[in-house]
Chain A
Amino acid sequence: MSVPVYLPRPQLQQLFDVLIGYGYRIIGPVARDGAISYDEIVSASALPWGIRVRQEAGVCRLQTASDERGFAWANGPQAIKPLVFAPLEPLWRMSRRGANFEVEAVKAEERPTAVLGVRACDLAALALQDRHFLGGAHVDAHYAARREGLLLVAVNCTHPAPTCFCASTGDGPQAASGFDLALTELDDGYTVSAGSQVGEGLLSHLALLPATPSQLAGVQQALHHAAAVQTRKLPGSNLHDVLLARLDHPRWQEVAERCLACGNCTAVCPTCFCHAETEQATLDAGSSTHRREWDSCFGERHGYIHGKQLRPATLQRYRQWLTHKLATWHEQYGRSGCVGCGRCIAWCPTGIDITEEAAALCAPQP
């Protein structure tokens, strides 16, 4: 990582101009529809200046503050996931040719994209998605095409929400790796460091100042504070054995009574990668488009296998989600599937709290 330098706030637009000059579309945070949303933007003026986000279990409200900060909030319902793991996309098309058929691959969009305002938890989640879609013998071509063109500008999290617990999972609040540039917001500007050669190249185009010792101390203090104020935590970094030993715990039924099985938690989870594949045929079945879309272990089709529903009850679906996320993920990817972003807590319509459920399930039994 490079030595931190300083970008005064009025010069933030330079970063936009440089990125656009290199042909990137910029996806950045905006305040929209009562939440922080990542949309295409061309100007620093579109950022959520003076916006705060009050996030609790099942509740998100935007508030305004009198300061000039643009990144003084934790996160929104989505960040990077939809940009690399598309919510719904065609994979291939088949057409009848006489007694045979032809298959034509649908190429993924490969537009270079810079994401501004990425959090440490998002980067940790992206690393997990990379392992899922790019690791092993079978690389996902669509994910790979979009991932390759991705430039990541992290902004360290200085204003975690009460729903956040990245400090307990070890994934935040400071971005450690996986970014091209990392910024930390101060009262009148940003310390900036590069995390890649591409990032170094971008720095050379910006009117930067050396970061002063007091600015660097301010950054350290802000990040220390962001970790210290987090009150939620998981009961351990590896819950594999304890959770799998408690598959008959009465807590599963209790949480199932509160769970809507709506799948919001899985949709906003930045590491959830399950998908369904569906065929969309023309009326005469002359051709068909094979589509992939986000799926959820809370839905009807996820556990349905030729005539049998393997998980007919919400209890089984919630247990599937939690034991995969916090237990069997360790077998698959050598770590938990939770990065502590707290989205599943904030965006659960009934406010189910993964940290509370994990604590209840893992509590010492008499």
Chain B
Amino acid sequence: MNEHRPRIAVHKFASCDGCQLALLNAGEAFLELTRLADIVHFAEAGWYEPAAAVDIAFVEGSISTPEDVERIRAVRASARHLVTIGACATAGGLQALRNGLTQSADWLAAVYASPEYVRSLPDSQPVAAHVAVDVELWGCPVTTEQVLAATGDLLRDIAPAILAEPVCVQCKQRGLACVLVSRGEPCLGPVTRGGCGALCPAVGRACYGCFGPAGLPNTAALARRFEDLGLRREDIARRFLFITPAAQPFRDASRRYQDPERE
């Protein structure tokens, strides 16, 4: 362990706050973390010192406003290790569905009473689009096990092992029957990074791709299989856009099935 007490910050950008719960819901392990390190900034838990220099800065949320760009640069400058937690910070999140859409100005006017106060970047972007990221933790949300394993490694200056095995690995370890094979469900498990413990297949549902693309995501072959299952082209296009629509392999897969005239 380092001579000085390690310092940790948890920053939030455009997100639902759900990934921060991986820490807040960790129970005794969270108390253990406060024994091993000083949590100097974690607004949702009550600590507020956003400019503090830290050993580990966890970042939740995507970069979606000009202020976010300035803030993430400051976070980077003050952190020894920057760790993105979750689909938003790592891949732009669900809100990246708006990326590349020309109608989004009309939508603002339709949704907000005073759209002139909304200042957004054209795209919702991952943190890595703006600053160097040391560790990316995928998931929507990330799990306590994932965050604590990475934290423990970083406290000891070890590069965390980030697995990119597909959901199918955990699905088969749990003894579940493949929902794609046995029910014809359009499951994204074969192209999605594991980490959730095959949550959806365990209740008979198709994977939504919450943990982003697996190591070698053959989305083209899976999309062809979805065609065989009878999915319409537009449903295949949407299927890949559920949680991490800006992740390149999923975005490319979706584009191949989008009707060019609707863009």
A-side residues, CB < 8 A to B, are 32-35, 37, 58-62, 76-78, 82, 87-88, 257-264, 267-268, 278, 280-285, 293-296, 299-301, 313-314, 317, 346-351
Contacts and interface: CB of A to CB of B under 8 A. Distances in A.
A262 B190 contact: yes
The main secondary structure of chain B at its interface with chain A is helix
Contact of B178 (A77, A300, A317): A77
Nearest to A279: B161
A293 B173 contact: yes
Contacts of B182: 33-35, 60-62
Contacts, number: 133
A260 B222 contact: yes
B163 interface: yes
Contact of B181 (A37, A60, A281): A60
The contact size tier of chain B is 35 or more
Nearest to A38: B175
A51 to B, nearest CB: 13
A77 B181 CA distance: 10
A60 B189 contact: no
A268 B177 CA distance: 10
B256 interface: no
B51 interface: no
Nearest to A264: B168
Interface stretch (B72-80, B100-108, B122-130, B148-156): B148-156
A284 B166 CA distance: 29
Contacts of A257: 218, 220-221
B225 A58 contact: yes
Contacts of A299: 165-166, 169, 215
Contacts of B179: 33-34
Interface in B164-214: 164-166, 168-169, 172-184, 187, 189-191, 204, 214
B169 A350 contact: no
Report, nearest first, the 10 A-B pairs whose CB atoms are least far apart.
Answer: A34-B182, A267-B172, A262-B190, A35-B177, A300-B215, A87-B173, A260-B190, A262-B168, A299-B165, A300-B164
